[in-house]
Amino acid sequence: MSSDVPDVETSELIVVVRQLMGAGLGGWTKEAIFEPVASATAGIWRYRGEGWSVVLKLLHHSDIGSPMWLSGDAEDHWYFWQREAIAYESGLLDSLAGPLRAPHCFGVFHRDDGTIAVWLEDLVEMRPAGEWSIERYGLAAEHLGIAQGGCVGMHDHPWLSHDWLRDFVDRRAPLMDELATDAWQHPLLKEAVDPAIGYSIGALWERRSDLLAWVEHAPRTLCHLDLHPKNLFADEAGTVLIDWAFVGIGTVGEDIGNLILDAVWDFHLLPSDVDALAESLIGGYLRGLAVAGHAHDADAVRLAIMAGACVKYLWILPALLGAVRSHQAEINRRPAADTIAAWAPTIPKVVEFGDRAAELAADLHL
């Protein structure tokens, strides 16, 4: 047994292992498996014993972490630090329809030091999305469509996030000033990015209210709001989605728009895969909605996806400009040159998605 673990963790682990094994704790080991970036996560650890393995996610309210991901103490804050724990405690995440599910939760413990311990199923044996084919992404989108189609018109809760995408876009506004700098002339960018794309990004930024309104035109449903490959796993029965820290009321299609581009921004797929990924995800999602009995107008769903993908990531080009101008050696935890190679050819897709959203909105008379 590790000697540095407080008694409170041991007592919680006894309860968890009894659920799993119907037996006593016995010997066990602990290893850190995640370095927190967002401030509400104090750490994530894996605990192993004879025949069992579980994960502890420890939540706290802290001002330590990336300035873009600081938690709040109010229920209506975009990053209410207790939201994920409440989502598990309430049973909401056990009510998802179809083959999409959250990890099994073995216990939520409110500790005397003000932290919250969430003990979860270990997915170490499951296949993460970083190893998936594009077709498997489409199947996950179908599973998401079934789940979200079943949540249309669901009863709201005050602790769920609301208008999360609007808050996200507003927080990136200061970055847009980088479009006016001379970073375009940097050797790393001069050949990689056409300066004209900056004018298109700037024009779409001026239309961000329209883009957000088009997303919000879609029906409301329960959204994950951080759908990217690191949070997706395949099991024999379906798809498992982790990290529900931002869970809230969003719109049909909003999560899919996020996943299309996040798969490239975080280096899981190549820029050349974007079109095939978008087709697979959108097709799968529409099938899932139909299975759930909510076969919405396909163009209205596509509009939410295109507009959401565009407006959420208008900040990528300005952030790239700022990172180069300030001589950052790494961008998104990769050497700057590697990140530019992945991001630069994908940035025009942000503009393309915005233009496509405008066409769809016009066709729908919005």
Percent of the chain at pLDDT > 90 equals: 82
* Segment (H or E) for 145: helix 134-149
Domain that holds residue 139: 127-363
Cα–Cα distances (Å) from 77 to 63, 67, 82, 163, 194, in that order, read 14, 15, 10, 10, 38
Q: 308: which residues sit within 8 A by CB, 6+ positions away?
A: 165, 211, 215, 251, 253, 254, 256, 257, 258
pLDDT digits (tens, 9 = 90+) for 111-144: 999 999 999 999 999 999 999 999 999 999 999 9
pLDDT tens-place string over residues 262-321: 999 999 999 999 999 999 999 999 999 999 987 778 999 999 999 999 999 999 999 999
2: in domain: no
For the segment 83-97, what is each residue's pLDDT rounded down to a tens digit? 999 999 999 999 999
Q: CA-to-CA distance for 6 and 46, rounded, in angstroms?
A: 16
Tell me the C-alpha distance between 42 and 34, whole Å.
10
- Same-domain check for residues 170 and 207: yes
The answer as to whether 91 is a domain residue is: yes
pTM of the model: 0.94
Which CATH number goes with the domain that contains 28?
3.30.200.20
Q: What is the CATH number of the domain that holds 251?
A: 3.90.1200.10
For residues 364 and 359, what is the distance between their CA atoms, to the nearest angstrom?
9
**Under 8 Å between Cβ of 332 and 281:** no
| Domain edge (last residue) among 52, 86, 121 | 121
Torsion angles phi and psi, residue 221, rounded to 5: -155, 175
Residue 35 is predicted with a pLDDT of 80
For residues 49 and 190, membership in a common domain is answered with no
How much is the pLDDT for 4? 52
**Residue 66: Cβ-neighbour burial (10 angstroms; 0-12, 13-18, 19+):** exposed
